[in-house]
Amino acid sequence: MELTTNNVWMMICTALVFFMHTGFAFLEIGLTRKKNAINILFKNIFIITSGLLLYGIVGFNLMYPGFAEGALGVFGFAGFGLEAPLVNGALDMAYNEGYTYWTDFLFQGMFAATAATIVSGAVAERMKIGSFMIFTVIYVGFVYPILGSWKWGGGFLDQLDTPFYDFAGSTLVHSVGGWAALVAVILLGARIGKIKDGKVQAIPGHNIPLATAGVLILWLGWFGFNGGSVLSADPELTSLTLVTTCIAAAAGGVFAAIASTVVFKNLDLTMFLNGILGGLVGITAGADQMSPTDAVWIGAIAGLLIVTAVSLIDRLRLDDPVGAIAVHLVCGIWGTLAVGIFGALASTEQLVSQLVGVSAYALACILSSIIIIGGLKLTLGIRVSEKEEIQGLDIHEHGMSAYSE
C-alpha cells in the first residue's frame, strides 16, 4: 500500500512538472512580440517531444549508469533504451521504495527537457529554429544527463567527503540551462533595436497577462518539481518542502518588487514575476533542508539578485528577452550556495562542496555550450537575417501567424 501511495504521488508530481512547460511557453510568448509567438511555441513543443525520446533512448542510462565501485564517476552508460528490472517475469516492485522504474524514468525525463526550455527564452526572436533544434538534441540528449550523473547518478560530486547537495536542481537543471543561455546570448548578439546610440532600449512583450499566467502555472508546477524530489509521499518531508518552496517564491516576488520600485521608480510587474521565479529557483537546491525562516531569507536575497542581475545584464549589453539568465543562472548559483549557509546542512565544509559543484558545472556547461553553439555559428549559422528578424520569425520560418489580423 505504501508503494502504491508513493507511486501515485510521484505520478501526480510528474504531471505537474509536465504542466510547467505550458507555463514556460506562456511566459516566453507574453514577454516577447506577437510576430514570434509561433516560433516560441514550436520550440517548446519540440523540446518536450524530442527531449522525452532522447531521454528514453540514451539520456536515462547516461544519467543513472550505475557507476562501478571505484569508478571516477564522470561518465558511464548503461546501454540504449529502457529495460525495466524484472523478477520472475514481472516488474521488480523493490526497484525503489518510493516508486517504480517506469515512474522514475518519466519523472526524470520531465526535468531533462527543462534545461533547453530555459535557453529557448533567452535566445527568443533571433535564433534560427534549425540551429536551436540541433542544440536541443545534443544538450538535452547528451550534455544534461552526463552532467546530471555527477550528482544524482552517484558520480564524483556525490562521492566527495562532504557530498555536493542539490535537492531538486538549482544547479543540475537551472544553472545547466542558465550557463548555456549566457553563452548563446553572447554569441547571438542583441536583437535589432535593443541598443540605440549606445543605450539599452526596452522591447515590451505583447501580452503581459499571458506572462503572468505563465508564472502562476510555473509556481503550481513547482509543487511537483520540488515536492516530487522527495522521491516519496513522506508526509512530513513533502509538506515541509512545499511550504519552503511557496514561502521562498513569495519572498522573492515581494523583495524584487520593492527593490525595483526603489531603483526604477515604478511598480514593474515583470520584475515582480521574475522575482517569484528567482525565489523558486533559489530554494530548489535545499527545499527539504530549510526552515520557513530560512526560506524567507533565501527567497528575499534571490529577489534582490533578480533586480541586480537584470541591471547588470543590460549594462553588459546582453539581450535576454525573458530574464532567463538572472532567474535560472544567478539564482540557481545563489540557491546552491545557500545550502552551505542556511538550513540543516549549513557548514564550512558543505559550502566548500557547493562551490566545487557550482564551479564544475560552470566549466562543463560553458565549454560544451561554446563547442555546440559556436560550432553551429561557424557552420549553419545561428542568427536569422535582418529582414526575417524585423518581419518576424513566424512568417519566415513557419509560414503562419499566431493571431489573425
The pLDDT, as a whole number, for residue 242 is 98
pLDDT interval class at 6 (50, 70, 90): very high
Is the confidence at residue 68, as pLDDT, over 90?
no
The pLDDT, as a whole number, for residue 105 is 96
The pLDDT, as a whole number, for residue 113 is 84
Looking at every residue in the chain, the average pLDDT score rounds to 95
The pLDDT, as a whole number, for residue 302 is 98
The pLDDT, as a whole number, for residue 405 is 66
The pLDDT tens digits of the residues spanning 198-216 come to 889 999 999 999 999 999 9
> What residue spans define the domains of the chain?
2-77+98-398
User: Per-residue pLDDT averaged across 378-403, rounded?
Assistant: 96
Q: How many helices (H) and strands (E) does the chain have?
A: 16, 4
Q: Is 0.75 topped by the overall pTM?
A: yes
The pLDDT tens digits of the residues spanning 92-101 come to 877 887 789 9
The pLDDT, as a whole number, for residue 85 is 87
In 3-state terms the chain splits into helix, strand, coil percentages (rounded to 5) of 65, 0, 30
The pLDDT tens digits of the residues spanning 127-150 come to 999 999 999 999 999 999 999 999
CA angle in degrees (0–180, nearest 5) for 350-107-123:
80
The pLDDT, as a whole number, for residue 195 is 92
Taking a C-beta distance cutoff of 8 angstroms, is the pair 284, 168 a contact? yes
In the chain, how long is the greatest CA-to-CA distance? 72
pLDDT interval class at 69 (50, 70, 90): confident
State in words which class domain 2-77+98-398 has: mainly alpha
pLDDT interval class at 114 (50, 70, 90): confident
Taking a C-beta distance cutoff of 8 angstroms, is the pair 208, 256 a contact? no
Cβ-in-10-Å burial (0-12, 13-18, 19+) of 133 comes to middle
Taking a C-beta distance cutoff of 8 angstroms, is the pair 392, 163 a contact? no
The pLDDT tens digits of the residues spanning 203-260 come to 999 999 999 999 999 999 999 999 999 999 999 999 999 999 999 999 999 999 999 9
| Cα-to-chain-centroid distance, residue 31 | 17
The pLDDT, as a whole number, for residue 1 is 65
